[in-house]
Chains A and B, each alone.
Chain A
Amino acid sequence: MMLLSTAISRAEAEEFIYAEARLADDHQYDAWEALWADDGVYWVPAGHGSAENADERISVIYDNRSRIALRVAQLKTGKRHSQDPVSNVARVISNVEIIRGDSHSAETRASFIAVESRIRGLTTWAGSVGHTLIRTEAGLQMSRKVVLLVNRDQPLPTLAFLI
């Protein structure tokens, strides 16, 4: 892929992050997967230790690009019972900041609250989310998404939608 050299503005980053959230909320799996770069890593650490080293501590999600594809393919079978029916999800993302940036990439941090509805009832998911965005010919892509749940050190209910 070809990287283009123009710094990523906060407005551009916000637009990407909001679109990513919308596609996840709406279960637009193919469009969501298309946002990933070839070397993408999707990481939801568990407990406080695992936020430091995913090679030594288990994570709620630690997907490389091929496992992201597997996760999406599983959702699309229609037999992923924990998402059949799909969860109704609405998330709000705010406090978007660019933490680090260079001529073609940016690391962002934001806060989110997602409310999930299933037969079980309403579940509130909240935390911070970090994206690593890169500029390509196809537009912005994400090469890394890290979701730090506020309650990652507590027992969690099933989390089968795309957080």
Chain B
Amino acid sequence: MTASAGSTALAGPDYQRLIEADRVHGSLYTDPRVFADELECIWYRTWVYVGHESEVPQPGDYVVKNIGPQSVIMTRHRDGTVHLLLNRCSHRANQICEAARGNSRALRCQYHGWTFATDGTLLGYPFRQGYAGDEAKAALGLGRVARTGSYRGFVFGSFAAEGPTLAEHLGAAAGVLDRLTRLSPEGDVRITAGWLRHKVEANWKLLVENETDGYHPQFVHASIFEVGQSGVGALYSEKSAATARDLGDGHTEHDLRPQFRALNVPLGWFGTTEERLPAYARTMRELHGDTVARQILVDGSPHVMIFPNLFVAEIQMFVIQPLAVDQTVQHVTPLQFAGAPDLNRRLLHQVSGSVGPAGLLLADDSEMYERNQRGVQSLAPEWLALRRGLHREHVDDEGHLAGAATDETTQRGIWRHIKELMTAPAPAGGERA
């Protein structure tokens, strides 16, 4: 990639020039300096999805998560609060948690035996006589993600001590999570079915952009549409009534409800019927009444990319973890709904077939991410074109930019937000908490 457009060796990448309204420069996917800037301006500043409260149901539960390359321990403290702690001993920086999850009254560093409460407080250290007194103890807790917030059980963290609240960050995306949890008779998603972790040699933004790219399915997934009984192809055809929507703040969705409403079959969005999930259908009808329950079951589950890393895709949930400019891990788990065991079992087996390294769908998406990463290193043309649907884009009733299912309204929305973040002045203040 030439360095001609918008960057000089001294000044670093110039995001005002590299990100235009309808095209972006290839170096944004390949330049390690861009990745370093993104860690500072995006991953270590804005709200990032970390984990779900249902992963740490009991006091003392912990699970190792991440914010980009940072290892983060999500804990449930004895008072019921959820904490996001950095996986680094405050003594000599050993990594504290090796196991992916567990339950313990205290987190113990195996190097010199320091112990920490599940809220990060330093509890003690062996051979106390080696320290003149305990006065430094209070300041030697584990590092913390500066702010922790939770919405409907989804736990987010921000390394910035100040900035928009989680509610402000989620904005319109919160309403989409409301739609999701409404599918549970108990109003809750449960993340209990384990994770697949899929490693790709591609820049993280290629994944984010693909999650709400309605243009690719007919081509990337042609093989499975040809041999399987999938309804997905129709959702992203040229005739689809679905909407690609820029929800603002980098969040984007495919609103598939127009398609599901045209189908007008409860659970049709999941390719099944109420007869095949009678217990779930009965519970929902008893809970909401026939009319409302029917609407919920016809409308189905959302398809939303919550910037920068949480992708809820109807039956599963992905978490995107950038590791380097050309290395990303995509974590995926089946959505499970509290109070819906028959639905959950079916979700689990459907998701196992679709996603992950051997998934009938996702293996091909990942192939495209890696081909894209190789392609974008070519010298010309230097830009990626994001013009699709510009001429038919409109502002919808809620004030969001909306386009046809296959339009690049979503990618433009993602980049508009990235540009804001990458050109925002650094926040005041110094050392991280």
Contact = CB atoms under 8 A, between A and B. Distances in A.
A binds B: yes
A79 B349 contact: no
A158 B330 CA distance: 11
Contact of B334 (A44, A58, A74, A82): A58
A149 to B, nearest CB: 10
A156 interface: yes
Given A62-B352, A63-B353, A157 B200 contact: yes
A60 interface: yes
B348 interface: yes
B368 interface: yes
A46 B196 contact: yes
A163 to B, nearest CB: 8
B393 interface: no
B22 interface: no
Contacts of B198: 155-158
A155 B100 CA distance: 13
Interface string A119-145: 110000000000000000000000000
A163 B357 CA distance: 12
A59 B370 CA distance: 23
Interface in B221-239: 222-224, 226-228
A71 B352 CA distance: 13
B367 A158 contact: yes
Main secondary structure of the interface of A (DSSP, over half): loop
A60 B196 contact: yes
A159 B363 contact: yes
A47 interface: yes
Contacts, number: 116
Given A82-B366, A158-B367, A77 B197 contact: no
Contacts of A157: 198-201, 357
B343 interface: no
Interface string B227-253: 110000000000000000000000000
Nearest to A47: B194
B115 interface: no
B228 A158 contact: no
A159 B358 contact: yes
A44 B226 CA distance: 25
Contacts of B123: none
A57 interface: yes
| Size class of the contact patch on chain A | 35 or more
A153 B360 contact: no
B345 interface: yes
A159 B363 CA distance: 7
B226 A156 contact: no
A150 interface: no
Interface stretch (A15-23, A25-33, A48-56, A96-104): A48-56
A62 B370 contact: no
A77 B222 contact: yes
B356 interface: yes
Contacts of B366: 82, 158
A23 to B, nearest CB: 18
Contacts of A6: none
A58 B351 contact: yes
Nearest to A73: B227
Contact of A158 (B329, B357, B374): B357
Interface string B197-229: 111110000000000000000001011101110
Interface in B160-205: 192-201
Contacts of B192: 56
B148 interface: no
Nearest to A162: B358
Given A60-B357, A70-B360, A80-B223, A50 B194 contact: yes
A19 B201 CA distance: 33
Contacts of B200: 157-158
Interface in B332-384: 332-334, 345, 348-349, 351-353, 356-358, 360, 363-364, 366-368, 370, 374
A160 interface: yes
Contact of A58 (B100, B194, B222, B360): B194
B61 to A, nearest CB: 15
Interface of A: 44, 46-47, 49-50, 54-63, 67, 70-71, 73-75, 77-82, 119-120, 153-160, 163
29 contacts: A46-B194, A47-B195, A54-B352, A57-B193, A57-B348, A58-B348, A58-B356, A59-B352, A60-B358, A61-B352, A61-B358, A63-B353, A67-B353, A70-B360, A74-B224, A74-B226, A74-B228, A77-B226, A78-B223, A80-B363, A81-B220, A82-B364, A155-B199, A156-B198, A156-B357, A158-B363, A158-B370, A159-B358, A160-B358
